[in-house]
Structure 1
């Protein structure tokens, strides 16, 4: 398959996902549709490396992840990040819910090792799935080695539509408050100019703040996150992507980065495209035979995990006075993480209102907890759990 044909095919899938999402007003998320189409493609005529053939090898996707996550950090201020302590507690509660239900009920259905292998990928992303898969393989548990990867690949099929539903309910609730004059954009920073934001470059003429200078500053912050992550590795394992989010917040607060520099450098759209293709590239591992072999434990484990997340996030949400919809949405980020949490949230917001001011207010209230929730569960806690649980195999 030629590169351009591969590119046309994968972009057609992304467009179909967008089209269905717009037509259904985000009740059916584009991520869900795209995942189904990619899965069908891999099972029929797609070459396994269609995403790489189209021009998005993993190394390119990694570069974009550094830039986009750093860019996401500029959406938050240090004050807003500290304000997300409730999100962190809710995210952790959702994880406790997964563990409690799978050990409490799952153990009566499956054996101990199946439950042990299932939990870290359900809580997190690729790294935890790979840790459990390799651990199961070394223990001679071939089917469970496959199970760890497939449960990571497939859990989004439950998470995408559920998140869209609860976020739409939350968005409608917030819209009612906005239109009654009871809710405004957090921080009221929307009107700040790039020059006012860039305190470290206030003497730099605006004509020199080119697209490449914006990319350069994003890359410098991402590189700093990488260096710190590497330096801390012998002491504590912290993903550079988590640090990118934190460093993006700090860089904006000190005036090294403006708000959303990637959008201002006209690079955000292609960045999201690359990220989405990278995510769907993971579906190439899920063959029909694998799916049939592990379909029953896969469905039961995901259903139990969702029930656990709902119960525990509902209880903690009540205690912290967070709506049950927002609390459940934050807990659900464990099933997919970034970039799906960003894509689904912005998709829902766009479907709810065409008013830019209302969209900005909804974004300021809904997007930060979704991003923080995803990083807590997927990028941080899941890797710790995998490191502990793999020792039981």
Structure 2
């Protein structure tokens, strides 16, 4: 058994290598994919022992902090902002419903219902949905399927990134044309200037309102509310309540944690992004990622090869379901179909890829600041809210409900 500090440093080195690779490729290569493949290879070659994650105690840390992280996710976006972006929420929900329906309909007859459940939650949103599904599969004695949600989680960004980028570029080109029309008309009328400068309005920045919470309904003295230890205590109380409610109701703690975070933020008990304010978010995320990496150390090449046909089917049908749901919802609310499909497919990306992709598309498609700003104004808020709805909230709810049917 390796010394805990040495094991912890090596696990962090693998995660850090993934982050570096992602930064060097401007997020085109998912960082966790690099970390997963690196650790898997090192374990298979015998460079790292199979129990390295357990020895590091990162897995224990992740399991401990998971309920607190769910509360944190519930505090990330105020309800007021969710109401303002209700169209993006509707599109994201329809996309997730479409993915779950198509995956279940196609996978069940061929691979079985349990296999469909193993992939339907993670394809709708990533890390937390994977954790919920993995736990349920193990409790149900379906160990042969535990590699499925893991591979879906690892591979979904590779498939999603080029698709979403293409959809955004197509829609951004339309927005750029619309933004260019007033400039041309102004030049022809002799009342404007044909240059690349932005208007006074646009120079003030995006019209999207900052994420500010309304007047809190409960007042906690600032000297307590801004104290890192007190704030961390309040988040842990929420996490403890979530786990207690899971024992009482059988509904996964992640669902309760999200609700507690939303309610606590609305009441003013928690600030926006509570764990970040408590300087504890990074350690919680490292712990959760270590829980996922621990699964990589227990897999073999034969196990991975055995589930690849199932995983490929889930990814293809899941992406098709997301696109279908986003398309239908966009038609209903009057959005361009390509915009609706892109917002629905934020389930494959999440933050910060949804943000980075939108910015990159605006910079590459927009020919001047006016066009670039018009693209950002039209796409950034829906993409961010879509990503939060799918990755942070909706996928957790869907995974929690589906695993109850196993």
The TM-score, its normalising length taken from structure 2, stands at 0.72
Q: 1:199: how far off?
A: 5.3
Match of 1:119 in 2: 116
Aligned mates of 2:52, 2:114 — CA distance in 1: 29
Match of 1:272 among 279, 285, 304: 285
Answer yes or no: is 1:368 the counterpart of 2:369.
no
Partner SS for 2:251:
coil
Deviation digits for residues 189-228 of structure 1 (CA, Å, limit 9, x no counterpart)? 44x7xxx8665335x2537731101101212222333344
Match of 1:261 in 2: 274
Q: 1:331: how far off?
A: 5.1
The TM-score, its normalising length taken from structure 1, stands at 0.74
Match of 1:381 in 2: 398
Aligned mates of 2:380, 2:259 — CA distance in 1: 19
Match of 2:256 among 243, 246, 250: 243
Aligned mates of 2:297, 2:377 — CA distance in 1: 37
Q: 1:99: how far off?
A: 2.2
Relative to structure 1, the CA distance from residue 3 to residue 210 in structure 2 (aligned partners, 3 Å threshold; closer, same or farther) is same
Match of 1:163 in 2: 160
Match of 2:19 in 1: 18
Match of 2:218 among 184, 188, 200: 200
Partner SS for 1:57:
helix
Match of 2:39 in 1: 38
Aligned mates of 1:134, 1:228 — CA distance in 2: 18
Partner SS for 2:58:
coil
Which protein shows a greater Rg? 2
Partner SS for 1:66:
helix
Aligned mates of 1:312, 1:268 — CA distance in 2: 33
Answer yes or no: is 1:223 the counterpart of 2:240.
yes
Aligned mates of 1:279, 1:360 — CA distance in 2: 36
5+ residue gaps, structure 1, are 138-144
Q: 1:24: how far off?
A: 1.1
Q: 1:27: how far off?
A: 1.0
Aligned mates of 2:313, 2:82 — CA distance in 1: 35
Match of 1:68 in 2: 69
Match of 1:96 in 2: 101
Q: Does structure 2 conserve the Cα–Cα contact (< 8 Å) formed by 1:122 and 1:152?
A: yes
Deviation digits for residues 130-185 of structure 1 (CA, Å, limit 9, x no counterpart)? 655676x6xxxxxxx45411212211233022333455567777898898868946
Match of 1:55 in 2: 57
